[in-house]
């Protein structure tokens, strides 16, 4: 069994992860509008990964005999002023998600819910990777600056990402 407080917090996190998928799919559409198909493919793969995060929370809540209750997903932004602005927003979003995961962990500690603590350890590790990956691409875009050739090279590199892989 899981407490109502933890059940509510996990339902909220399912919503955060589904929104992450929605946000990255919106970024994918933005990159398609710029003809940057590699960037778009990377964001689409990221959206798929976010849905798998949502499903991890979904299954955990069920296994703990909690009740999954889906909340409304807010509308994501649709355009950014540059690829750098989009990836900067993605990086900031991952920092926000790390904060949410840390809040959940603190709650699981306060409620002495050991299974949830163990489950969240995977996410804590995952967030280190998520933030580092986004920060790495931001750094590359800063270096590229206004170079069209650099942008196309990165586009090709990001397009090589597999659905569950990293660049």
Binding interface with ligand FEO (CB under 6 A)? 17, 20, 50, 53, 94, 97, 130
Q: Which one, 97 or 151, has the nearer CB to ligand FEO?
A: 97
Q: Where are the alpha helices (DSSP H) in the chain?
A: 4-33, 37-63, 83-110, 114-144, 148-159
Of the pair 7, 17, the CB lying nearest ligand FEO is at 17
On whether the CB atoms of residues 130 and 99 are closer than 8 A, the answer is no
Q: How far is the CB of 147 from ligand FEO (least distance, A)?
A: 28
Minimum CB distance to ligand FEO, residue 20 (Å) = 5
CB 53 within 8 A of CB 20: yes
The least CB distance from residue 34 to ligand FEO, in Å, is: 22
Q: What's the closest the beta carbon of residue 62 comes to ligand FEO, in angstroms?
A: 19
Beta carbon nearer to ligand FEO, 44 or 53: 53
Distance CA 63, CA 115 (A): 10
* CA–CA distance, 67 with 7 (Å, rounded to integer): 7
């Amino acid at each position: 069994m899981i407490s109502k407080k933890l059940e509510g917090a996990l339902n909220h996190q399912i919503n955060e992860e589904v929104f992450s998928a929605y946000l990255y799919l919106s970024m994918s559409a933005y990159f398609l509008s710029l003809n940057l198909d590699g960037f778009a493919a990377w964001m689409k793969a990221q959206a798929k990964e976010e849905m798998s995060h949502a499903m991890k929370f979904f299954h955990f809540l069920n296994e703990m005999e909690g009740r999954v209750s889906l909340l409304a997903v807010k509308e994501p932004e649709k355009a950014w002023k540059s690829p750098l602005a989009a990836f900067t927003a993605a990086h900031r979003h991952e920092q926000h998600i790390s904060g949410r995961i840390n809040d959940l962990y603190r709650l699981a500690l306060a409620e002495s819910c050991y299974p949830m603590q163990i489950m969240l350890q995977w996410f804590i590790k995952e967030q280190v990777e998520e933030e580092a990956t986004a920060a790495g691409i931001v750094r590359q875009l800063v270096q590229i600056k206004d170079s069209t050739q650099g942008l196309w090279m990165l586009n090709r590199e990001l397009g090589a990402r597999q659905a569950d892989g990293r660049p």
